[in-house]
Structure 1
Amino acid sequence: MSKSLSVTFRVPAELSEAFTDAVNAAGGDKTAWLIDAIRQKLSRPESNPDARMMALVERMEIAAAALIGGKQGIPPLPYDEQAVIRVVEETIAQGFDNGRIIAERLNEAGYQTKAGKAWDKDIYSAWKRQVKKLTLYQLNGDKG
């Protein structure tokens, strides 16, 4: 049997709550959850074959669900400019004028980019510049 060591470390407050929620959702304890996360990050499989099989089954279920519902990580709804603008305006009105947060909100709302991808801060910034140019163009009376 391998020896185990006690390790102490600090976690940012916003991660601590997410960590506790994830542990509760998994139905295990914090130590087991952390060991699993460390093994995954280091690409070291668990020595227990049953647990490894369950992890593989879970990954296959996620992949199957992604195939049924569309590509994994890509929002299901096609680009809808009016809906996207509405999500952006609502997010900014809530005090979050940050590209990363706005991109997350657009993905959570389920809208793809024009290219059919998930939003990120860079895609949002490029989209925002394009919308500003279009708005200025329209305000100038469509004078090429």
Structure 2
Amino acid sequence: MANAEEEIKKDLEKIDKLADGGTEGLENRNGSLDPELIRLIERGVNAIETLGDRYIAYKEKSDEYAKEVELRKYKYWTIAVVLVTALAVVLLGGVLYLANVKVLSSEGVSFLLGTIAGYLFSVFGGLISSALKSKESEA
């Protein structure tokens, strides 16, 4: 562990010297850069390329995931709207049928229609408010 930390410190010192514009002490006898420094720079470039590739792959996956989530939301919204509409038609049709057969009085019909309408308003209101909350949390 200590060796790795020492190597990192040495590498950082060399990079600092190079970043300061000075290549003194980094050249060998022939006047060319030290091969160790070249390997160090290559390792740094490879590390940056690897991190860049990982970041690009992450962004592509997150974009695909966001598209899939939007498609599923649309699918579930359409299913919910169709089911609630079918429920409304069945309930209202049943109440009106019972009123037509004279099983229910006009007061009973009014009460049931009001109850069903209130139920539908609350269901649609809950669906709409949950959709708005999810849009606000995404932004």
Q: Same fold (TM over 0.5)?
A: no
TM-score of the pair, normalised by structure 2 = 0.27
- Larger Rg over CA atoms: 2
Structure ranking higher on relative contact order (CA contacts 8 Å, 6+ apart): 1
What TM-score do you get using the length of structure 1 for normalisation?
0.26
If each structure's helix is expressed as a fraction of its own residues, which one has the higher value? 2
